[in-house]
Structure 1
Amino acid sequence: MSQSAAVDLLRGIGVILTPGLSDAEIVAAQSAYGVQFGADHREFLSEALPVGDRWFNWRDLDDDRIRAAISWPLEGAHFDVENNEFWPTSWGARPSDERARREVVDTQTSLWPQLVPLYGHRYLPAAPHGTRAPVLSVYQTDVIVYGDDLLDYLHREFGARARPDETRITATDLPPWTLLAFGHDIP
């Protein structure tokens, strides 16, 4: 799927776009930040790199804002465990000791698919997720499907398309993230 329509949409609403990342720049960014862009994300960034506002400048290989955004989803799970009583039943009995809880959360979330920041707290799954990956809004363990894929997300966030309650994404498309989005317990 060509990401030209996504670039055209952003250009049309005045988002500042710099030239797309070269293959070498993509490899350098992935190496610097320990991520693997999914197919759609990689193709999009190859066409154009949006800058400003809440976009991430992947050309900057030493950006604490990008590092913070990468760690944000899992830090949010930790926060909700300690402050909001988040504890999936599949994790077993909740330890009374904070350090023991942290170890369980670290172990469990290390199995979760990595999310790569797209815009603010909107994320795409890292590779090896294929094309047409969902865009998720992640704020602690509050996860919302914001787009069935990148173009759908951009239309909903920046275009004329409203974000309907319906989506083609299901709870089992990218567990546990989509399970959280649909209010299911994590197996």
Structure 2
Amino acid sequence: MNKYEILINALKVVHVQFDQGLTDKEIEQIENTYGIQFPKSLREMYQIALPISGSFYNWRDFHENNIRNIQGMLNWPLEGVLFDIVENDFWDNNWGEKPIDLLDAKHK
């Protein structure tokens, strides 16, 4: 049993439901749609079995509302940092020169 099967079985014990794994074509479509690239380990696991219950993303649903929901969740960390830059005057000197506005901060 490989490490992914062990993880999948552990998740099944806590009632996570799974669907068949994603194909290479499905992963390519997801990555292109969201402008992301799955880490190798997540890609490998998702190709074995795809979690579909609870708060897991429904990667196979390409309806506009689902895409907007997933994109919002993917953008959440960046939006949080940008909020802190603008509202809390947060800037780490290791990032270089502090931007003058939010649009400039997005490109830094």
Q: Aligned pair 1:103/2:98, yes or no?
A: no
SS at the partner of 2:101? helix
How far did residue 77 of structure 1 move?
A: 1.0
Cα distance in 2 between the residues matched to 1:80 and 1:52: 33
Q: How big is the shift at 1:32?
A: 1.4
Q: Is the 8 A contact 2:23 2:47 kept in 1?
A: yes
Counterpart in the other structure of 1:15: 16
**1:84 partnered with 2:88:** yes
Aligned residue identity for 1:3: Y
Aligned residues: 103
Q: Report deviation, 1:41.
A: 0.8
Matches within 5 A, 1:1-187: 2-62=3-63, 63-90=67-94, 91-92=96-97, 94=98, 100-108=100-108
Q: Which amino acid aligns with 1:34?
A: G
What fraction of aligned residue pairs are identical, expressed as a percent?
31
Q: CA deviation at 1:2?
A: 4.1
- Do the aligned partners of 2:18 and 2:53 also contact (CA within 8 Å) in 1? no
- Measured against aligned partners, the alpha-carbon deviations of 1:15-59 in whole angstroms (never above 9, x if no partner) come to 111111111111111111111111011011111111232211111
Q: TM-score w.r.t. structure 1 length?
A: 0.50
Larger helix percent:
2
Task: Describe the superposition over 1:99-123 as per-residue Cα deviations: whole angstroms up to 9, x where unpaired.
Answer: x321332122xxxxxxxxxxxxxxx
Q: Displaced runs of 4+ in structure 1, greater than 2 A?
A: none
Partner of 1:74, secondary structure, is helix
What runs of 5+ residues in structure 1 fail to find an aligned partner? Answer: 109-187
- What is the deviation of 1:9? 1.0
In structure 1, what is the Cα distance between the partners aligned to 2:52 and 2:88?
A: 34
What is the root-mean-square deviation of aligned Cα atoms in Å?
1.8
| Larger Rg over CA atoms | 2
